Copies of this chain bind each other. A is one copy, B any other.
Amino acid sequence: MKLVRSTLALAAIVFVSVTTLHAQDPLPSWNDTAPKKAIVAFVEKVTKEGSSDFVPPAERIATFDNDGTLWCEKPLPVQLFFTLDRVKALAPQHPEWKTKEPFASLLKGDLKGALAGGEHAILEMMTATHSGMTITEFEKIVADWIATAQHPKFKRPYTECVYQPMLELVAYLRANGFKTFIVSGGGIEFMRPWTEKVYGIPPEQVVGSSGKTKFEMRDGTPVLLKLPAVNFIDDKDGKPVGINEHIGRRPVMAFGNSDGDLEMLQWTAASSGSRYCLYVHHDDAEREYAYDRKDALAKLDKGWDEAVAKGWTVVSMKDDWKTIFPPEKK
């Protein structure tokens, strides 16, 4: 009996400590440096009723870029790894790819050659692998791939190469009444199968690039077919367009990591009322990757200058984050 009581008492202490700790520190993976202080100060002022900075809950919109902001985008964006794997998987059905670039190089094992055509080559491979099936079939292809594919450096699923400090931030904002959205250049249908599980962000709060789809009846059953045509590119000056089309409100907080996010941050910062913008700066070659101004796929160049000029937060992953990735799953 005494043991039971002691155990209960201990459990109570542990519970209280954890609760207190959590109440004191919603962002435990962030070092106690300027970015964390700025985030907490901002959230406290906009959620304080009666404050001149108060933002009503319905207007608390926070938008997050995905690649490089919520999860790792190096050595290549995850959707590009997916695309390359799909080209290989579909090659038997496409004998013409053996002699057609960029497919031919890739199938010979020459990744550099396949990517030499730049954005055009990437778009061609994406279009070829992201169309010709129903949205339901594509969802299953993505779900199956993401369940097994591994990051080449970290040797863990891509969905575990997400940034622990950002997971805490997303949860912290939601706990403070924010509706959290992804606004990514990545494919909307590539993200939706897993964002709810990984980030707690449901499909209807994912904004991304998309291909055209077509409604048709197949033996009396309606399907949406993915067509080989671009519908919308949710990148750069497309991000405010996507935000307006999908959300219809201007964000109160916006988070990015590259020039692809600059217009989203500008669009956020320039609206009336309290606004907050943040760039994640990849400067941790040891724990992740270091890249910025000159990066081929994810330049932080104009955005860096504007962040400095406007006083936006720039997070040093090296100095401001205690940990990068979540603990390994058993």
**Cβ of A305 under 8 Å from chain B:** no
**Cβ of A113 under 8 Å from chain B:** no
Q: In the complex, are the beta carbons of B241 and A213 less than 8 A apart?
A: yes
The chain A residues found within 8 Å of chain B, CB to CB, are 58, 61, 135, 179, 188-189, 192, 196, 202-206, 210, 213-216, 221-222, 224, 231, 237-238, 240-241, 244-249, 263, 266-267, 270
Instruction: Output the nearest chain B residue to A179 by Cβ-Cβ distance.
Output: B204
Given contacts A203-B247, A231-B245, 4 further A-B contacts (CB under 8 A): A203-B248, A204-B249, A224-B240, A246-B246
Q: In the complex, are the beta carbons of A224 and B248 less than 8 A apart?
A: no
Q: In the complex, are the beta carbons of B58 and A248 less than 8 A apart?
A: no
Cβ-defined partner of A221 (8 Å) among B188, B231, B237, B270: B270
Q: In the complex, are the beta carbons of B241 and A188 less than 8 A apart?
A: no
Note all chain B residues with C-beta closer than 8 A to A231.
245
- CA A213 to CA B239, docked complex, whole Å: 11
Residues A248 and B210 in contact in the complex (CB < 8 Å), given A215-B263, A222-B263, A266-B222 = no
Instruction: Output the nearest chain B residue to A248 by Cβ-Cβ distance.
Output: B203
- CA A266 to CA B217, docked complex, whole Å: 10
Cβ-defined partner of A204 (8 Å) among B188, B240, B248: B248
Give the shortest distance, in Å, between A301 (CB) and chain B (any CB).
17
- CA A204 to CA B196, docked complex, whole Å: 17
Q: In the complex, are the beta carbons of B188 and A222 less than 8 A apart?
A: no
Q: In the complex, are the beta carbons of B188 and A267 less than 8 A apart?
A: no
Q: In the complex, are the beta carbons of B188 and A215 less than 8 A apart?
A: no
Note all chain B residues with C-beta closer than 8 A to A248.
188-189, 192, 203-204, 206
Q: In the complex, are the beta carbons of B249 and A203 less than 8 A apart?
A: yes
* A-B pairs with beta carbons under 8 Å apart, 29 shown: A58-B196, A179-B204, A188-B248, A189-B248, A202-B249, A203-B247, A203-B248, A204-B205, A204-B247, A204-B249, A206-B248, A213-B241, A213-B244, A213-B245, A214-B241, A215-B238, A215-B240, A215-B241, A215-B263, A216-B237, A221-B270, A222-B263, A222-B267, A222-B270, A224-B240, A224-B244, A224-B267, A231-B245, A246-B246
